[in-house]
Chain A
Amino acid sequence: QKEVEQNSGPLSVPEGAIASLNCTYSDRGSQSFFWYRQYSGKSPELIMSIYSNGDKEDGRFTAQLNKASQYVSLLIRDSQPSDSATYLCAVNRVGNQFYFGTGTSLTVIP
């Protein structure tokens, strides 16, 4: 079983819609959870961190964490074409070990 799993997509949503990205992780001892955005040909950029159960909102982005279900999600409201990118879920375990999913490709259609 992979440490972090994401649906590779591609996920396509129309402009203005909500994009929902999902991630599951295998280690219950995981402590910190992150979402990164990677544009083609660029390095990943941190967009959200979440450390406790529940929702965390930052602008159009909402991260949701459910440790009981070992599930992390990212919602993007009012999706824009500029949101088109690959979104990486990352999990940090004890000992500063980071594990990444393979990423979900999102396309926002104008």
Chain B
Amino acid sequence: GAVVSQHPSWVICKSGTSVKIECRSLDFQATTMFWYRQFPKQSLMLMATSNEGSKATYEQGVEKDKFLINHASLTLSTLTVTSAHPEDSSFYICSASGLNSPLHFGNGTRLTVT
């Protein structure tokens, strides 16, 4: 089946630093990639949708200058959390979909900001 690779699996960083998370579709071309955030015992929260070669569409309340998304190719999207703060600590999950196909999720990145 389709595989989405997300890296790193977990990261600890100091407050004020930036963290980049990569999401790759390994065996299909991802026309659309989605970034989610999930706090403990809560539902998935869609942060943004990105299509290859165009600017990401952010959900209401998500700061686009803080969460930078780049989708430079059909197999790679990155999320950069800039100037991270402890409240940004969460489980970040990417997902990818080809045309008319199911959504496949990466394994997620657990971010802890100290």
Contact = CB atoms under 8 A, between A and B. Distances in A.
Interface of A: 32, 34, 36, 41-46, 49, 88, 90, 92, 96-98, 100, 102-103
A34 B102 contact: yes
B105 A96 contact: no
Interface string B36-66: 0000000110100100000000000000000
Interface residues of B, number: 22
Contact of B103 (A34, A41, A42, A103): A34
Interface of B: 1, 6, 31-32, 34, 43-44, 46, 49, 91, 93, 95, 97, 99-100, 102-108
A96 B107 contact: no
A97 B1 CA distance: 21
A45 B105 contact: yes
Contacts of B46: 100
A42 B102 contact: no
A96 B108 contact: no
B101 to A, nearest CB: 9
B43 A103 contact: yes
Given A32-B102, A34-B102, A98-B34, A43 B43 contact: no
Given A32-B102, A46-B103, A96 B43 contact: no
A43 B103 contact: no
B31 A43 contact: no
A100 B46 CA distance: 9
Q: Of A45, A90, A98, which is in contact with the most chain B CB atoms at under 10 Å from its CB? A: A98
B25 to A, nearest CB: 14
Contact of A44 (B6, B97, B99, B105): B105
A51 to B, nearest CB: 9
A43 B102 contact: no
Contacts of A49: 102
B31 A96 contact: yes
A97 B91 CA distance: 22
B44 A44 contact: yes
A46 B102 contact: yes
Contact of B105 (A32, A43, A92, A97): A43
